């Protein structure tokens, strides 16, 4: 079972148990609330809203509020000497979809799985001994001297 919801001017396809990042909502961490702007609900029977499905709801829980990665906005006009660099970080709210309820009363729920604290695995660093560099024996090549004969001119 899945639903399409609308929040923050965007539409999201969600299933029970999903984590989604939506536009910043003025809710505290851990709050649970229902989203009533449900545009579509699937299940045994599909319900399409005009524009929303009445009596359908999606129950969500606020996990955290955070900010996204920084993006750089760079503007330039060639040959005019105009350059502008600006950074932006979008704020978002992370939601956990707990339940989806259709107008027929059919619902699907999911529980939040918390990760058990994992045991710290300490990786042993194996120290590799460097092999002693073996020097190559180089033999000096004997350079043969060229003997040049001096040409002498005899005076006649």
Please tell me the pTM assigned to this model: 0.66
Tell me what pLDDT residue 92 has. 96
For the chain, percent of residues with pLDDT exceeding 70: 80
60 pLDDT tier (thresholds 50, 70, 90): very high
* Cα-based distances in Å from 7 to 68, 75, 83, 153: 18, 30, 35, 108
Mean pLDDT of the chain: 86
């Amino acid at each position: 079972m899945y639903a399409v919801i609308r929040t923050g001017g965007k539409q999201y396809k969600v299933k029970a148990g999903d984590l989604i990042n939506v536009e910043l909502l003025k809710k505290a961490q851990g709050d649970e609330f229902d989203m009533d702007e449900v545009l579509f609900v699937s299940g045994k029977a599909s319900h399409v809203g005009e524009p929303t499905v009445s009596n359908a709801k999606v129950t969500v829980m606020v996990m955290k509020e955070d900010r996204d990665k920084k993006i750089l906005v760079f503007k330039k006009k060639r040959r005019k000497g105009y350059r502008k660099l600006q950074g932006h970080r979008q704020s978002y709210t992370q939601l956990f979809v707990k339940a989806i309820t259709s107008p027929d009363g059919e619902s699907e729920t999911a529980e939040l799985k918390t990760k058990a604290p994992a045991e710290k695995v300490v990786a042993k660093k194996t120290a590799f001994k460097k092999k002693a560099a073996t020097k190559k024996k180089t033999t000096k090549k004997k350079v043969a001297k060229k003997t040049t004969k001096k040409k002498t001119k005899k005076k006649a």
